[in-house]
Structure 1
């Protein structure tokens, strides 16, 4: 048929809610075998099982891989532009002279009779602008964001077999989805740390278990919600079971514009899950975020997710299909005059620590008149206040645990009226590396307090204030996991989701998931 009909067929597919892909084998001036093979290739990419042996002849070989390893683990990054490469060499020499502030060479290039005068006042500003632009271009190549990619191919096989355990919250939709796909489903309540021995005994009594699905949503407190994941992982180990554990959440992630920003408590579960995937590679199935209502179609998609062999472990089930989580390069941010401008008071939690001190210098150097630095001790490192004063900032150092709402409320209330609070940088955090096999409820809660409670208190106590800056320091551990950092990853994933909720409310909010800082911060402790 003429290719114009493919549009109508696609509309029909969408209108009936059918999972299908539409391809054409005829286009204007293109109707030969090459076009047919292209259509088959498009179908194969979309998940259609194409029998290539009937189409292609000759010997099939695998694509080349990295020598010896047979796999590639790194992202393909474009090389940083080299100054002058492929451009005008005269222009490159000009900007090189600007950066060196070589007035004599610039005077010759511009055919000026003498170097001083106008050049002497303009060139330093141009050099500063050029260096800042170069630095910004370099930093932009370090920036990534999370996105979601359609997973049409997962729907090819959705059959389940054997015994599947549905743990945690009783969810009729999940049970029906697994039963409908052929699994024998057994319920297993999980609601306390102390249940580990009981859970292990029940799992052992079940014999050979094909898989386990833990349905979260039984608690509104982060530490309690995470406890179910930890205790079930341990119980599976005690029972000697390598059955894959899938953790099912609702509203933990936002796949597209139609989704609300992720629920911070459920997002914390995903943060912990990414670490569990590293610490329990033989026991971990993955994370799956479900729609609020699991109808027949969503149930089929859930069964397809749980079927082994597809290699995806962070998936969202939505009415429009299945989506897999991806990390991609972020588009460089446009710099406009509508952004933040230094004014008033900026409060820095953890402000006397290594990263807080760096931020304080950065803010003072950009003209913030008043800085409030908080820490649990209220003691600043020698010389910090004096250094910030030389940059023009007035400094107040306050003893305050950000997890103590009353203490934080007093700090906010004490901000002088003449320099009102206009910004917050939440850099406080507690890191207590601990494997999930060893972590205690107390350790889990203590790591979460600074991140979770501190963020919530800062948000609530500044409600109604005209904040133009609300920055929280998150971590790469929350984005891709980090062994021994489950509590820290969960707390920072909570931060990321909370800031998304702030943005949804029309408020200022930025969460930066840092990697290791050179020479400062938690990563360099103990000589690392």
Structure 2
């Protein structure tokens, strides 16, 4: 009925119909066509294919983003698809970029109309010959795992050529018949090791150049928690003032709608956080930072929010983590950068001594537009975080599973897989903890499966967030003659909650089991001679994952705890798993 009241006119530009996948005719002028357009299947791919058959090579998408261009590219790979607008990009910049892409793809542009009224003029290009300098990547060196040369085979033949039997784990007294199985076993081990090396990445820190005399213009909001050391707050205030900023100190009662013109926000909310401040796995600074982000959004403040920490990251072996609690902010920040790209500024980790030079480096990061949003200020300068391929790990002895292995979240999917693996690889006793223990679904079947693999299994109702219960369990196992030799912490739950709607309860629900459980395991087994202390972390902590701010914060704490244990010569491995099938 609505469409019948519309007056139709024949189009002046041909229209490819999503009903037929071909150029539409007079049917466009009927109400039935538009009713069918709503009800019937969209033949978008057919339409793009029809245009391709007509010789169309360039497509301009008029819409809020590039969704249709991405879809069409799957149908016609060789054509140029140009979105007029891009998500999270200023409209003027996006349109100008689109115009440039159309131009370089052969579309005729009316430049006179484009530059009308701006006094534009043509200029001559340089007449000298351009310098011919090669910028192609150099071929990898021989033995690189990314070439056709197998590094395992290369190591094998090198050992054979040099007659280095020890490198192959072969005794000189063995006959060829006895040596062949040993060599085969060595090769299999090295192949597995080589494959893992190709999967491994780690965090590195790169020195970056910053301005020697930075200037901060406009009004800066300074978020100061009540329990912050006054000397630290004064350092920030004096630094902001000295570099040109107008300062407004804000708290939970500040009306942020009065500061929509702010140039930036500097948060000191995480600086007082220490492990003893954890409440259900969450630091006060984390909760306050989430609240601040939400308040800024509600007030319409779009200035970038920068969060300071102190000793929350390690940039080298000589620069240990001093606050595992503050590391949570780094996980939150990586997710905020994805969910709130225009409102999140970045993360800056401070050194132990806060002096004038430290502030100059900090202000240089705040004033810079180079996109470095994860930095550490150290006495030698500013370092920026990078994810790089890890060097091949040393081929030392592998962890040989033995004795009792304690697995938290043991009756869950991940815990069950680890338990069966441990049982099949030498563990004599598997202890599975979970909140429901033997009453958890599938617990009895899992116990039977472990025993069929040759190990004894104990399923215990023990909440790892309860340190007393965990201590009692450890003492009981020790008294029974089955002390824990390895700990694997798989407990935890996932999350899909945007920062904009996250509540304090959402934080504790996700973080308690992971963070409090890991902290309790660290404390309870601090004086135990463990073979392994394994934490199941996530790539969400490494580079962020939308909707998983609490999950990322919790796993960043696990990564920091592993670093902390290494500093104190305690075993620890934190594995940043990708998505589980």
Same-fold status (TM-score > 0.5): yes
- Going from structure 1 to structure 2, the CA distance change for 1:395 and 1:120 (only over 3 Å counts) comes to farther
Pairing of 1:436-447 with structure 2 (within 5 A): 436-447=499-510
Assess, with a 3 A threshold, how the Cα gap between structure 1 residues 491 and 508 changes in structure 2: closer, same or farther.
same
Q: 1:357 aligns with which of 416, 427, 433?
A: 416
Distance 1:119 1:388, change over 3 A: farther
> For the residues of structure 1 that align with 2:128 and 2:211, how far apart are their CA atoms?
29
Q: Indicate the residue corresponding to 2:194 in structure 1.
A: 137
Aligned-residue CA RMSD in angstroms?
A: 3.1
Alpha-carbon offset, residue 389 of structure 1: 1.9
* Mapped pair 1:388 → 2:388: no
Q: Deviations over 1:388-421 (max 9, x none)?
A: 2232211111122211223322322231533221
CA shift for structure 1 position 57: 6.3
Give the C-alpha shift of residue 331 in structure 1.
1.9
2:473 match = 411
Of 212, 217, 224, the match for 1:168: 224
Preserved contact between residue 201 and residue 389 of structure 2 (Cα < 8 Å): yes
Q: 2:67 — aligned with what?
A: none
Q: Counterparts of 2:375 and 2:134 in 1: how far apart (Å)?
A: 27
TM superposition score normalised by structure 2: 0.66
Residue 385 (structure 1) shift: 2.2
Partner of residue 514 from structure 2, selected from 428, 451, 455: 451
- For residues 230-276 of structure 1, the C-alpha deviation after alignment (integer angstroms, 9 at most, x for no partner) is 11111111111110000011111122344232411110111111111
How far the C-alpha of 1:323 sits from its partner, in A, is 0.6
2:568 is aligned with 1:505: yes
Aligned to 2:271: 217
Query: Within 1, Cα distance between the matches of 2:336 and 2:403?
Result: 43
Alignment correspondent of 1:526: none
SS where residue 306 of structure 2 aligns? strand
Separation (CA, whole Å) in 1 of partners of 2:262 and 2:431:
56
**Is the contact made by 2:320 and 2:563 (CA closer than 8 Å) also made in structure 1?**
no
Which residue number corresponds to residue 374 of structure 1?
A: 433
- Runs (5+) with no aligned partner, structure 1: 1-55, 66-77, 92-117, 190-194, 520-528
Q: CA deviation at 1:119?
A: 8.0
- Aligned partners of 2:343 and 2:436: how far apart in 1? 42
Q: Which residue of 2 aligns with 1:496?
A: 559
Q: Give the Cα separation in 2 of the matches to 1:129 and 1:64.
A: 41
CA shift, 1:166, in A, is: 1.0
Q: Quote how far apart the aligned CAs of 1:83 are.
A: 6.7
Distance 2:132 2:236 in 1: 41
Q: Residue 332 of structure 1 aligns with which residue?
A: 392
Per the alignment, in what secondary structure is the counterpart of residue 265 of structure 1? coil
Larger Rg: 2
Give 1:478's match in structure 2, choosing from 538, 541, 545: 541
Structure 2 CA distance for partners of 1:172 and 1:347, relative to 1, 3 Å: same
Matched, 1:344 2:429: no
Aligned-residue offset at 1:181: 1.3
Residue pair 1:223, 1:445 contacting (<8 A) in 2 also: no
Contact 1:160-1:181 at 8 Å conserved across structures: yes
Structure 2 counterpart of 1:159: 215
Once residues 400 and 229 of structure 1 are traced to their aligned partners in structure 2, the CA distance between those partners, rounded to angstroms, is 32
Q: How does 1:110-259 map to 2 (within 5 A)?
A: 126-151=183-208, 153-155=209-211, 158-169=214-225, 171-189=233-251, 195=252, 198-199=253-254, 202-215=255-268, 216-219=270-273, 220-221=277-278, 222-259=282-319
1:313–1:408 distance in 2 versus 1, CA, 3 Å: same
Partner of 1:36: none
CA distance in 1, matches of 2:573, 2:322: 15
CA distance in 1: counterparts of 2:152 and 2:454, whole angstroms: 43
Go from structure 1 to structure 2 and tell me whether the alpha carbon gap of 1:125 and 1:353 turns closer, same or farther (over 3 Å shift): farther
Q: 1:415 to 1:230 in 2, by over 3 A?
A: same
The alpha-carbon distance between structure 1 residues 336 and 62, as it changes in their structure 2 partners (threshold 3 A), is closer
Matches within 5 A, 1:20-99: 80-82=146-148
How far 1:469 moved relative to its partner?
1.2
Query: 1 CA distance for matches of 2:152 and 2:564?
Result: 45
C-alpha distance after superposition, 1:192-234 (max 9, x if no partner): xxx4xx44xx222235100000012244333422111111111
2:203 & 2:511 partners in 1: Cα distance?
A: 23
- Scaled by the length of structure 1, the TM-score of the pair is 0.72
Tell me the secondary structure at the aligned position of residue 141 of structure 1: helix
* Alpha-carbon separation, structure 2, partners of 1:438 and 1:406: 34
* Counterpart residue number, 2:524: 461
Q: Is the 8 A contact 1:146 1:325 kept in 2?
A: yes
Instruction: Compare relative contact order (CA 8 Å, sep 6+) and give the higher one, 1 or 2.
Output: 1
- The answer to whether structure 1 residue 295 and structure 2 residue 355 are counterparts is yes
CA distance in 1, matches of 2:203, 2:308: 19
Shift of 1:475: 0.9
Q: Report if the CA contact (8 A) 2:152-2:191 is conserved.
A: no
Matches of 1:282 and 1:60, distance apart in 2: 40
The number of equivalent residue pairs is 416
CA deviation vs aligned residue, 1:466-493 (integer Å, no higher than 9, x gap): 1121111111111111111111111111
* Superposed CA offset, 1:397-452 (max 9, x none): 11222112233223222315332211101111122321111111111012111111
Q: Using a 3 Å threshold, how does the CA distance of structure 1 residues 448 and 333 change in structure 2: closer, same or farther? A: same
